[in-house]
Structure 1
Amino acid sequence: MASSKVGSIGEYIRDQRTRAKISLRQLADVSGISNPYLSQIERGLRKPSAEILQQIAKGLRISAEALYVQAGILEDRRSDTDVHTAIRADLLLTERQKQILLDVYESFRRENEAAGATSEQHQDTGKDEVG
């Protein structure tokens, strides 16, 4: 069962690395993980520990949580994980901008949860558009 996740985490890491336009050698340098070991992880031959995943996440500038979920270490706790992952993976944003976006996003979610938000509130979106 875990072996099926090993391949998928490797594929996910490779996908994130290629999207970030980082070579395997560059990722090895910034993450502090050897090039051969990273290659084995990407090819599904090795199962990385949580610590290794954290180093890879730092090198890719993505959420370690996203890698943990992909590796089967953590359960995907909410549907907003994709939003968090997308914001954290955006190379055009600074770390400060990413954090601000995440803070605003979470504040809207909390506000809507507190108000018992439903799909009817989506009708308001047209009023807030900037033209």
Structure 2
Amino acid sequence: MASLNVGNLGEYLREQRRNAQLSLRQLADAAGVSNPYLSQIERGLRKPSAEVLQQVAKALRISAETLYVRAGILDERDRDEVETRAAILADPSINERQKQVLLQIYDSFRKENGLGTDDSAKDAGSGAGL
């Protein structure tokens, strides 16, 4: 098989699509991609862009970050940080100022533990909540 090392992604997408009880055509329509292209992704023949993965994740109602990790766009550690930031920013029980303070505390703990923060994740996180 002429796989591009995205077989794990393809298998995972197929599993998620079947769990959602969607045909390949239905998912392709919902994600705004062509049926043949989605089929090639599922078979590990194509490596989709982050934008396509985001559209597919939205159509499947799953985390785009999970797909990014499976596609090799994001490593596991980065995903954990992005998901933590997303959870903080999505919490309706705290206001924007509290979210920003909580993110600053989170960053300081990560620095203290030698993990630092990635500026792009920080920028994405702070922009999403404003």
TM-score under structure 2 length normalisation: 0.57
Measured in 2, the distance between the counterparts of 1:73 and 1:80 equals 14
Deviation of the 1:5 alpha carbon: 3.3
CA deviation map 1:60-119 (0-9, x unaligned): 1101000001111111128979xx9xxxxxxxxxxxxxx77xx9xxxxxx9xxxxxxxxx
| SS of equivalent to 1:51 | helix
Write the distance in 2 (CA, Å) between the matches of 1:33 and 1:41: 11
Q: What is the aligned-residue RMSD (CA, Å)? A: 2.9
Determine the structure 1 residue equivalent to 2:31: 31
Q: 1:71 is matched with which residue?
A: 71
Q: Which residue of 2 aligns with 1:48?
A: 48
CA distance in 2, matches of 1:60, 1:16: 7
Distance 1:4 1:37, change over 3 A: closer
Change (3 A) 1:69 1:79: closer
| Contiguous gaps of at least 5 residues in structure 2 | 85-89, 95-101, 103-130
Count of aligned pairs: 90
Moved more, 4-13 or 54-63: 4-13
Structure 2 contact 14–42 (Cα < 8 Å) conserved = yes
CA distance in 2, matches of 1:15, 1:47: 17
Whether the aligned pair in 2 keeps the contact of 1:5 and 1:70 (CA below 8 Å) is no
Q: Which residue of 2 aligns with 1:7?
A: 7
Runs of 4+ in 1 over 4 A off after TM superposition: 78-81
The equivalences for 1:44-123 within 5 A come to 44-77=44-77
TM-score, normalising length from structure 1?
Answer: 0.57
* Cα distance change of structure 1 residues 21 and 71 upon mapping to structure 2, 3 Å threshold: same
C-alpha distance in 2 between matches for 1:67 and 1:38: 14
Task: State, as a whole percentage, how many aligned pairs show the same letter.
Answer: 67
